[in-house]
Amino acid sequence: MYQRFLLAAWLLLAGPVYAQPATPRQLFPGLFEAVQLGHVFPDNKTFVDAVPLQTPAIILAAWQQQSQQPGFDLSRFVRAHFQLPTEATAVYRSDVTKGLRHHLDTLWTVLQRPATSTVVPYSSLLPLPKPYLVPGGRFREIYYWDSYFTMLGLREAHRTTLLRSMTDNFAYLIEQYGFISNGNRTYYLTRSQPPFFSLMVELLAQEQGDTVLLRYQPQLLKEYAYWMAGAEPLPRGQATQRVVRLPGGELLNRYWDSSSEPREESYAEDVAAAKISKRPATEFYRDIRAAAASGWDFSTRWFGPDGSLSSIRTTALLPVDLNCLLVALEQTIARSYTIANKKAAAQLWQQRAKQRQQAISLYCWNEKAAWFTDYDWTRQQPSPLRTLAGVFPLAFATASSKQAIVIAKGLQADFLKQGGLLTTLAKSGQQWDAPNAWAPLQYIAIQGLHRYHQQALADTVTQRWVKLNTRVFQQTGKLLEKYNVLNTSLLAGGGEYALQDGFGWTNGVLLSLLNRKAKAVAK
């Protein structure tokens, strides 16, 4: 009872409901829908990132008056009343002859953005108090889980000041809005992303000492309160927002978005997809948004048995990777209390982490699949699909030694390809399915394999991924958002937008792996 009282008290740190600025759709009703559904731009994200040149009232009045005139050109109107975004990486081309490391070092400058204490009125961009890095291409703002993997590269590059600035910016978002949004845009303020903040804090602590954990303890607690909001009164077998209480009383988490409307940055795509789905539109939009919160947008991982986007049911699943990240958050909070010499509080948080680890083992270890899978809490059964998310229990020490051996064998037999590890085994045309692979998942898999002494496989994955990244760079002068590891002569595809270059998390993971490899050779 005492532990529950303490937890309830900590959850109060979530504080009040935070005021949120208006989004482009809210600022420009009617015009917004006309632009997005009229496909004025090939990418719906272009318009929501555009900056109005007059107040919304003036622009809307002009649109309502001019749109009634013969020969009205909506595209010309938008270009006259909005400043369209530019992509900094679009004009940057690397000198391949100077080598990959020079390219990586240069990109930290190319992708950096200055602090913005204020932004242009009615812009969708949210201010951040310190400099930060963007992923690149169409991604012109900071992104939550991308940033941890980018920060791995900042550490390797000894850019500790920028590493601290990035961490401070995320702490600021927690203080300002009660959580870390998907990105620093108004239209992202309805959801978060995989909670890597505790790992960012731990990364900075490796550079600046354990007092870092005390510095960010208030924000760590507030992020936990965000993820666990509504947990205490929740009956067994019920869910609220991001938390689910299972039949045994255990608490695990899911992805959730507070809106049930089409995503503003993908408005036309969502409206079209909802018309195909047989589900109520609000439920469909909620699950689309929840998948965006997961970062895996999109994958058959979230789909129903027919394997189509129209059957998406993200909120019915308890993701194994999300819950491993929340174990890490609980453990980091415990460490912060240990450093503060508050033993009772430290033990409470250690116990919470242990309970979550036990729940992951109970609900997410799929004996039939010989894999860690997501758990379908609505059907009370594990998902049958094996995905690369199944390596997270290895990276976060939640798996047993026997389970780790089984996972390693499965990776070797089914996921390991010419260029690295597949994201899933399904070829659906979605970008988070085969044949695509992504830097953050390669890194997590390598970390997990090392943790459980599967060194040979970890080294093989590293070598194949580095080789692929290097070869594509030598051919194109770019590092890319994702890669085709099944046929390495082809570029990755799928998804709602063209293949992006830059690219923050690819750069960070690659530099980290290159340096690890160099250190191993030096020994």
Is residue 397 a part of any domain in this protein? yes
pLDDT at residue 9 tops 60: no
Residue 517's domain spans which residues? 388-523
Is residue 467 a part of any domain in this protein? yes
- Average pLDDT of the chain is 95
**Cα 410 from Cα 442, distance rounded (Å):** 15
Is residue 468 a part of any domain in this protein? yes
Instruction: Give the dihedral sign, CA 316/44/175/198.
Output: positive
**Between vectors from CA 65 to CA 63 and to CA 71, what angle results, nearest 5°?**
80
Output the pTM of the full model: 0.96
CA distances from 212 to 45, 145, 215, 237, 465 (A): 36, 20, 5, 38, 33
pLDDT for 89 equals 56
pLDDT at residue 3 tops 70: no
pLDDT at residue 13 tops 80: no
Helices (H) and strands (E) counted in the chain, each on its own, are 21, 16
> Counting every residue, how long is the chain?
523
pLDDT for 19 equals 72
CA distances from 152 to 96, 138, 145, 296, 438 (A): 23, 22, 12, 21, 15
pLDDT at residue 248 tops 60: yes
Q: Decide the pairing of beta strands 82-83 and 51-52.
A: antiparallel
Reported in sequence order, the residue ranges of 344-472 that DSSP labels E, i.e. its strands, are 365-366, 371-372, 375-376, 381-382, 416-417, 420-421, 436-437
CA distances from 261 to 3, 35, 178, 297 (A): 38, 17, 21, 16
Q: What is the tens place of the pLDDT at every residue in 412-438?
A: 999 999 999 999 999 999 999 999 999
Q: What is the tens place of the pLDDT at every residue in 113-167?
A: 999 888 789 999 999 999 999 999 999 999 999 999 999 999 999 999 999 999 9
Residue 382 CA to its chain's centroid (Å)? 23
Is residue 503 a part of any domain in this protein? yes
**Cα 460 from Cα 442, distance rounded (Å):** 11
Residues 6+ apart with CB under 8 A from 518: none
Catalytic residues: 297, 481
Is residue 105 a part of any domain in this protein? no
Mean pLDDT confidence for 479-491: 96
pLDDT for 458 equals 98
Give the chain's domain count: 1
Phi-psi region of 371 (alpha: psi -120 to 50; beta: other; left: phi over 0): beta
Residue located via tokens 């010419």: 418
Is residue 107 a part of any domain in this protein? no
Is residue 255 a part of any domain in this protein? no
CB 272 within 8 A of CB 40: no
pLDDT band at 90 (very low <50, low <70, confident <90, very high): low
Is residue 103 a part of any domain in this protein? no
pLDDT at residue 110 tops 70: yes
**Cα 333 from Cα 197, distance rounded (Å):** 11
Fill in the DSSP letter of residue 127.
P
pLDDT for 495 equals 87
Residue 190's nearest CA partner among 200, 199, 179 is 179
